[in-house]
Amino acid sequence: MNTLAAAIQPFVDQHYLAGAVLLVADKDRVLAHEAVGYADLASKRLMTPDALFWIASMTKPMTATALTMLIDEGKVGLEDPVEKYLPEFKDQKYIAYKDDTTVLLKTPKQPITVRQVLSHTSGLAFSLPMETPWFDKFQLADVVRFHAAAPLQCEPGTKYGYSNAGTNTAGRIIEIVSGQKYEDFMDERLFHPLGMKDTTFWPSEEQMKQYAIVYKVNAAKDGLEETPNGQMEYPFTNRKRTPLPAGGLFSVAADCAKFCQMILNGGKLDGRRYLSEAAVKMMIAKQTGELVTDKYGLCFATLEDGSYGHGGAYKTTMFIDPKRGLIRVFLMHVVGDWRDDGGKDIGPAFVAAAEKLV
């Protein structure tokens, strides 16, 4: 067994996860691309390197990249108020507390800006202000109107708050400015040019044969059991559902690596430029201001060691280490941990194995 899979095999053996796909690349090529464990425990279908995953919140940096393309082209301004593109964001209020029992709604000093939407400092709530399942119920324009109708969680620009609503808003701005459907813009400007051939909002029946099942940890059984993907209650192939920017993509490790290689190369891949170097730097460098301690750019979070990237629900991650010139993509589908030390050692084990390749 090769280095990457061997590092993760103990976690499969101990039922921390069913299986995983691991990929390490540099700026130009894939150094290792391995699978371990099972994509489907019930049928004993083995995990393969081309297994399809719902990458959930890893949709967010890809959406942010698409909007940054429009910023790079001068079609959107970072300091533009969101209401310039989406009038429903006019006259918003934010929640303030007079005391422990009294809630006040106040008018922000300044409206939300595009920069704040991308850096998750807009004050927009994490999810939708309604209880009904929302992935397949509304068009993106309707979803964003729901977001705009809810009071902000704070004065814009004063706190970091990871937000599904913010990324959906970014996707809607893409639609308004480009004149295209969000999903069409993503396909035509990002996925197809980069060669991300298996990245899709609507996986085909054939692709679903490679789908990695989502499992949850069952502490009582000392193992794993299949679980639905959150609120995704429809057939994944149903093209009537809304492909939300906050987390609607399905992808494979090789495609995620292509996206990361473009970023690591300063906005270029295979001789084609997608973003200016200045734009890529903004995507990585802290954009959250002095009032916010989180090191989040327009697209990625930056860790203490200088690496940057993003993780999605059910433990899908992609991180770029500029010092070593490495890309790490780790895809698995599991909810929760069944021991006190849970999956805490899975990431470091993968990182240590990846660094041995250089």
Tally: H helices and E strands in the chain: 11, 16
> Per-residue DSSP letters for 63-95?
HHHHHHHHHHTTSS-TTSBGGGT-GGGTT--EE
| Amino acid at position 253, single letter | A
Give the pLDDT score at 252.
Answer: 97
Contacts 24+ apart (CB under 8 A), 191-195: 191/255, 193/272, 193/274, 194/255, 194/258, 194/259, 194/262, 194/269, 194/274, 195/255, 195/258, 195/270
pLDDT interval class at 292 (50, 70, 90): low
Q: Average pLDDT for residues 150-174, to the nearest whole number?
A: 91
Tell me the per-residue pLDDT of 107-117, one tens digit each, with 9 for 90 and over: 889 999 999 99
Q: Average pLDDT for residues 178-198, to the nearest whole number?
A: 97
- Report the alpha-carbon distance of residue 82 to residue 136 in Å, rounded: 25
pLDDT interval class at 297 (50, 70, 90): confident
Q: Average pLDDT for residues 178-199, to the nearest whole number?
A: 97
Question: Lowest mean pLDDT: which of 58-67, 241-250, 258-267?
Answer: 241-250
Spatial CB neighbours of 144, under 8 Å, sequence gap ≥ 6 = 86, 88, 168, 169, 172
Fold observed for domain 3-59+197-355: Beta-lactamase (3.40.710)
Give the pLDDT score at 185.
Answer: 98
Up-side HSE of residue 125: CA atoms within 13 Å toward CB? 18
- Report the alpha-carbon distance of residue 30 to residue 143 in Å, rounded: 38
Give the pLDDT score at 15.
Answer: 84
pLDDT interval class at 247 (50, 70, 90): confident
Give the pLDDT score at 242.
Answer: 80
Q: Does domain 63-178 fall into CATH 3.40.710.10?
A: yes
pLDDT interval class at 173 (50, 70, 90): very high
pLDDT of 31 over the 80 cut: yes
Bridge partner list, 218: 223
pLDDT interval class at 293 (50, 70, 90): low
Which residues of the chain form CATH 3.40.710.10? 3-59+197-355, 63-178
pLDDT of 302 over the 70 cut: yes
Strands 272-273 and 268-269, bridge-based pairing: antiparallel
Mean pLDDT computed over every residue of the chain:
86
Whether residue 317 contacts residue 300, with contact meaning beta carbons closer than 8 Å, is answered with: no
Q: What is the CA radius of gyration of the chain?
A: 20
Spatial CB neighbours of 341, under 8 Å, sequence gap ≥ 6 = none
Tell me the per-residue pLDDT of 62-106, one tens digit each, with 9 for 90 and over: 999 999 999 999 999 999 999 999 999 998 998 887 666 667 888
- Report the alpha-carbon distance of residue 171 to residue 167 in Å, rounded: 6
Count of C-beta atoms within a 10 Å radius of residue 228: 9
Q: Average pLDDT for residues 120-136, to the nearest whole number?
A: 67
Element holding 36 (H helix, E strand) = strand 30-40
Q: What is the DSSP letter of 200?
A: B
Q: Break the chain down into helix, strand, coil percent, rounded to 5.
A: 30, 20, 50
Spatial CB neighbours of 110, under 8 Å, sequence gap ≥ 6 = 81, 156, 157
Q: Is 167 helix (H, G, I), strand (E, B) or coil?
A: helix
Q: Average pLDDT for residues 271-294, to the nearest whole number?
A: 83
